[in-house]
Structure 1
Amino acid sequence: MNEQDQRPEALLAERQRRFEEDLVDAYDEELEMEVDDRLLDGAAGMTPEARDARKTYFRELFRLQGELVKLQDWIVKTGHRMVVIFEGRDAAGKGGAIKRITQRLNPRVCRVVALPAPSNRERTQWYFQRYATHLPAGGEMVLFDRSWYNRAGVERVMGFCTDDEYEEFFRSVPEFEKMLVRSGVQILKYWFSITDEEQEIRFQARIQDPLKQWKLSPMDLESRRRWEAYTHAKEVMLQRSHIPEAPWWVVQAVDKKRARLNCIHHLLSQVPYHEIDHPGVSLPERVHHAEYIRQPVPTELIVPEIY
């Protein structure tokens, strides 16, 4: 049943449920479990089925995050270089997936790159230059929260590039990615796919949540109006830049939690990693010196204990 077929009060109740669900989803994983256990039982409206689904989600998430730690160790040990690109419409869930991937990993090994709009100087550079700066060295994995495919998406739709620049991008991007792959960089490209209705609900949730309103820029609002133009741009992008060396993978992302699990599972399946043996760790004995006298910390340096 679509929204037009529902009564106004039913539609309002459904939207409120989705807003609350989206709010809970924004919490950190450990806090989510606290909220789940303490607040979402009985009268709060969580059904046994929903509770079981959450438990399954967390169980699988923590298991997959354990595998990501093994992947990280393997990347460091082997000197593997890996680029993972996350693209999709605004509010498609890219950031949430990236957060769950990086949550247990060493930020010195797994870096997130989310570049702002190019500066005036960068606009005069070779288009890929500012992205190339962030490519991984040996033993690193870089996650691009939006990437050089901005040219095929927002720049095309919003008129920030010329037709010639757009066509040159599609001539160059396959060669650029093939060159990276030949040099030993593995590239994974994910498009997070949501429906028209789902994006509207997520945008409305951001409007209602003061902690999320910062996520809605004027560009995001304009993208909502130009939904069909973005759809066409996405279709052209997938068609013209899907190459064997660096294929596109589409993540069905209307259900955020399923999308995260599916994306992480697929990412892991694309790398021939294995668990790395580590030497045992033992804590050394603390060294004591009889002549050492600890100096008191000046009172004015202490942070007030308000809590």
Structure 2
Amino acid sequence: MGEHAGHYSKELEKLQHNLIRLQHELHVSGKRLLVILEGRDAAGKGGVIKRITESMDNRGYRIVALPKPNERESTQWYFQRYVEHLPSAGELVLFDRSWYNRAVVEPAMGFCSKAQYSAFLKATPTFEKLLTDDGIILLKYWLAVDQAEQEPRLAERANDPLKRWKLSPVDLAARRKYAAMGKLRDTMIERTHTTNAPWFVVDFNDQKRGRINLIRHLLQQVPWHDAPIADVKLPALKGKPKREHVTDKAVWVPDTF
């Protein structure tokens, strides 16, 4: 276990160095990168997003995890609330779930009509082609996890006060629809897998292995020129290092650690 963890940490660190180079490439070139992460509850979407972004400049990426539509949004064109979150020049945007809610979660839970579901499957390839024709690099990942692996993860969340918030009533209800959601997932992929916006499936039964494979694949999908990142040389200080003297008008927080 220790050897596996050490190898994982070393590989992740290498990939995170390359992610910084990728972010620099996006900034220099003005490319726009949109990554969609879909999968069952507890598959590992949040964890891989954290590893992708934790060493990045937070001014160059955004994480989008939208709640259910409010009353006003529910009357809009379905894709409308997602459009405002699309990347601008030089940006990476990661969707923790996306418009594909209408392909799996909503029909499984009865949150949309059959007509809305059919219209979505028909419209999505056209919508995504508009995005990629405009130059957005669109990567769509499904994080695959077996039910035998998902169940202990859900139980861990239920028993951990720091993770309990991750489980919603919808998540709990979805446990009983594992097979049905699998069929909806397959239909989603078959209907929306296109040359310009293909689906990629990543085995996330082992989350660490899944993270490495996904990040490595992501890096391979984005063309870059490896623009050099300028070295930084700190100028010498003049005089001795100064203590930080803060005005007495401020109130210091007590040192209780």
Q: TM-score, normalised by structure 1?
A: 0.79
Q: Which moved more, 1:270-279 or 1:167-176?
A: 270-279
Match for residue 84 of structure 1?
A: 35
The Cα shift of 1:285 comes to 6.0
Which of the numbers 150, 163, 166 marks the counterpart of 1:212?
163
Which of the numbers 56, 67, 70 marks the counterpart of 2:18?
67
The alignment partner of 1:171 has SS state of helix
Match for residue 99 of structure 2?
A: 148
The alignment partner of 1:120 has SS state of coil
Larger radius of gyration: 1
Match for residue 232 of structure 1?
A: 183
Match for residue 305 of structure 1?
A: 255
Contact 2:24 2:229 in 1 (8 A): no
Structure 2 residue identity aligned to 1:271: V
Q: Which moved more, 1:181-190 or 1:230-239?
A: 230-239
Which of the numbers 195, 200, 203 marks the counterpart of 1:249?
200
Contact 1:70 1:274 in 2 (8 A): no
The Cα shift of 1:279 comes to 3.6
The Cα shift of 1:231 comes to 1.1
The Cα shift of 1:210 comes to 1.6
Partners in 1 of 2:102 and 2:10 — Cα distance? 38
Matched, 1:178 2:125: no
Deviations 1:103-148 (A, max 9, x none): 1111221111000111110011111010000000110110000000
Q: Whose relative contact order is higher, 1 or 2, with alpha carbons under 8 Å and at least 6 apart?
A: 2
Partners in 2 of 1:64 and 1:160 — Cα distance? 39
Structure 1 residue identity aligned to 2:143: F
Structure 2 residue identity aligned to 1:179: L
Matched, 1:262 2:213: yes
Contact 2:87 2:93 in 1 (8 A): yes
Structure 2 residue identity aligned to 1:272: P
User: Which consecutive residues of structure 1, in runs of 5 or more, have no partner in the other structure?
Assistant: 1-49, 289-293
The alignment partner of 1:138 has SS state of coil
Q: How does 1:1-307 map to 2 (within 5 A)?
A: 50-284=1-235, 297-298=247-248, 301-307=251-257
**More helix by proportion, 1 or 2?**
1
The Cα shift of 1:284 comes to 4.6
Q: Which moved more, 1:62-71 or 1:266-275?
A: 266-275
The alignment partner of 1:85 has SS state of strand
Inter-CA distance 215–193: structure 2 relative to 1 (3 Å threshold): same
Partners in 2 of 1:113 and 1:170 — Cα distance? 22
User: Which consecutive residues of structure 2, in runs of 5 or more, have no partner in the other structure?
Assistant: none
Partners in 1 of 2:32 and 2:193 — Cα distance? 21
Q: TM-score, normalised by structure 2?
A: 0.94
How many residues end up aligned between the 2 structures?
A: 253
Contact 1:70 1:273 in 2 (8 A): no
Partners in 2 of 1:224 and 1:66 — Cα distance? 37
Partners in 2 of 1:286 and 1:175 — Cα distance? 58
Partners in 2 of 1:109 and 1:92 — Cα distance? 26
The Cα shift of 1:298 comes to 2.3
Deviations 1:197-250 (A, max 9, x none): 111111111122121111111111000011122111111111111111000000
Deviations 1:156-180 (A, max 9, x none): 1111111111111011100000010
The Cα shift of 1:286 comes to 5.9
Match for residue 30 of structure 1?
A: none
